[in-house]
Structure 1
Amino acid sequence: MFLISLIMMTLAILISKKTFMDREKSSPFECGFDPKSSARLPFSLQFYLIAVIFLIFDVEITLLMPLIINLKISNLLYFMMISFFFIFILIIGLFHEWNQGALKWAN
């Protein structure tokens, strides 16, 4: 029994030897960046803030889509009040970001 286990382990080690060509395949691919370089490259915080703001407004647009379906089953006045309130909150958020300076690309 021990001999069979030893033969199986030896075969597994010999079969699983990676060649030099396989090393590139097994290395991580990070969005086109060379993974061997430093991971601590400078990153624009302004670009990150604008990307987060875009993501927030993009999600809120998807929240506006069900309001179109709601138009058929609700009162027009109720629909307009809800829609204007939601858009008003978005505009207040946009002006707040503008006043905080998050939308200025260059300082």
Structure 2
Amino acid sequence: MKLVCISFAISVTISSLLIIISTLFSKKTILDREKSSPFECGFDPKNTSRVPFSIRFFLIAIVFLIFDIEISILLPLSIISSTIPPMVWILTGSAFLAVVTLGLYYEWAESTLEWIT
């Protein structure tokens, strides 16, 4: 137990030192207006270079990731279908799909899936 505590203390100390050293050396001391502005062939930019990020796009991307992960969770069910009884396999898959479908219905009811700019 003592060895675990010592190794934990050493790892926390090393991690903290690395974080402190990286923040000390990564600070930019000189902010140059020319370097922070976008490059437009020597001319001053007419408008901001940063386009505001749409939160709708982010929410739709999250929903896509959820369904992508859902497919990766359902694929092993078909692989192990020969080792478990068919009724358990069907109930497990159906329950999981029902929960995901309810989540999709909730997203649809909250109109998260509508693209409004």
Q: Fold conserved (TM > 0.5)?
A: yes
- Specify the structure having the higher radius of gyration (Cα): 1
Q: How many residues align?
A: 73
CA distance in 1, matches of 2:66, 2:50: 27
After superposition, residues 3-82 of structure 1 pair within 5 angstroms as 36-37=37-38, 40-82=50-92
Runs of 4+ more than 6 Å apart: none
SS at match of 2:60: helix
Q: Deviations over 1:45-85 (max 9, x none)?
A: 11111001001110111000110112110101111000100
1:96 to 81, 106, 112: 106
Bigger shift: residues 38-47 or 64-73 = 38-47
1:26-59 CA deviation, whole Å, 9 max, x = no partner?
xxxxxxxxx8536753111111110010011101
User: Residue 58 of structure 1 aligns to a residue in which SS?
Assistant: helix
Q: CA RMSD in A?
A: 1.9
Seen in structure 2, the aligned counterparts of structure 1 residues 39 and 62 have a Cα distance that, compared at 3 Å, is: farther
TM-score normalised to structure 1 length: 0.62
With the length of structure 2 as denominator, give the TM-score of the two structures: 0.57
